[in-house]
Amino acid sequence: MSELPPIEYAFPELRRWEKGAAPYIHVLESGKPGPTVMVASLTHGNEVSGAIVVDALLAAGVKPRQGTLILSFNNIDAYHSFDPKTPFKSRLVDEDFNRVWGRLDQPATTVETKRAQIVRPFVERADLLLDLHSMHDDCVPLMLSGPLDKGVAFAKKIGTPVDIVRDAGHAAGMRMRDFGGFGDPKSPKNALLIETGQHWRASSVVVAKDVAARFLVETGAVEAGDLPADWRQPTPAKQRVVEVTHAIATQSGNFTPARHFEGQETIAKAGTVLGHDDGEAVTTPYDDCVLVMPSSSRPLKAGVTVVRLGRLT
């Protein structure tokens, strides 16, 4: 059995932020016209780098220069269930908070759907959203821009990380970043989802701070001097866009990888076998196929995406 990844930073005590516009959601008004900007963390309860950013913003008393700033800790119950002996378990309580956004008109019967109903009006209010995530496995940071041109353009304005992933989400359900106007090409609303790196690497916190700072300044919510100077990191010389063409979901949870694959690894030849799902070969559909966030090393169940396949554009 493989060893658990190290936890390289201290987790913040978040109970002090329970009281807000809603539990663990804070709305900061500037009193001046401007966009409503939202920074969300803990969409998955064990993805803590984003919570460190939101905790720091609240602790510093950062106020928006214009418009409104919303700061949230989404799946707080999952976070409070964290156990370092089983750290991956606290990703969720009953189901994935980031797959329920296409069925919020149905009765809320799980911890995550009940919490999503609380978070929903704040997400609907937001003009611009940054959802702070991290990854199960070690991988370079990725900016998930969604499938639309406006998302890619926004990611390029942020300027980091190197890889922008243009994708339509997951077969298992709609993500928060695709909800409502964020997923409408005619709407001016826009959203980004940053995957900062492996959950508990100190480098993941560095990426989360950098991207949050850039997002807040780009949206006009704050000025650069309102944030700690050490949050900003050097801007990469260039970015690249990987367009996801296939999302490979396991039919029954019986996917077996052909070998260990790295995130953003490029497979040179079409027809290369990546693994077998219920005995059926899963192969690359074209040359120079990029493997986006392969998840074949973690426990799987039916409908879970095991890897997304993309081409450079």
Supply the pTM of this predicted model: 0.93
Q: Is the pLDDT of residue 1 over 60?
A: no
Identify the band that residue 2 occupies on the pLDDT scale cut at 50, 70 and 90.
low
Identify the band that residue 180 occupies on the pLDDT scale cut at 50, 70 and 90.
very high
Q: Is the pLDDT of residue 64 over 80?
A: yes
Instruction: For 140-177, write each residue's pLDDT tens digit.
Output: 999 999 999 999 999 999 999 999 999 988 778 999 99
Is residue 46 a contact partner of residue 91, using CB atoms and an 8 Å limit?
yes
Is residue 64 a contact partner of residue 28, using CB atoms and an 8 Å limit?
yes
Domain ranges of the chain: 15-231, 243-312
Q: Is the pLDDT of residue 3 over 80?
A: no
Is residue 159 a contact partner of residue 287, using CB atoms and an 8 Å limit?
no
Identify the band that residue 279 occupies on the pLDDT scale cut at 50, 70 and 90.
very high
CB atoms within 10 A of CB 153: 11
Per-residue tokens: 135: 């990854």
Query: What pLDDT score was predicted for residue 293?
Result: 87
- CA 47, CA 94: separation in Å to the nearest integer? 16
Give how far Cα 201 sits from Cα of 6, 77, 141, 175, Å. Answer: 7, 22, 12, 24
Give how far Cα 110 sits from Cα of 123, 150, 280, Å. Answer: 19, 33, 34
Selected from 3.40.120.10, 3.40.50.1970, 3.40.630.10, 3.40.630.20, the CATH number assigned to the domain covering 15-231 reads: 3.40.630.10
Query: What pLDDT score was predicted for residue 299?
Result: 66
Closest CA to 242 of 166, 176, 135, 300: 166
Query: What pLDDT score was predicted for residue 298?
Result: 66
**Is domain 243-312 given the CATH code 3.30.565.10 in the classification?**
no
Adjacent-strand bridge partners of 166: 243
Per-residue tokens: 62: 């950062």
**CA–centroid distance for 173 within its chain:** 14
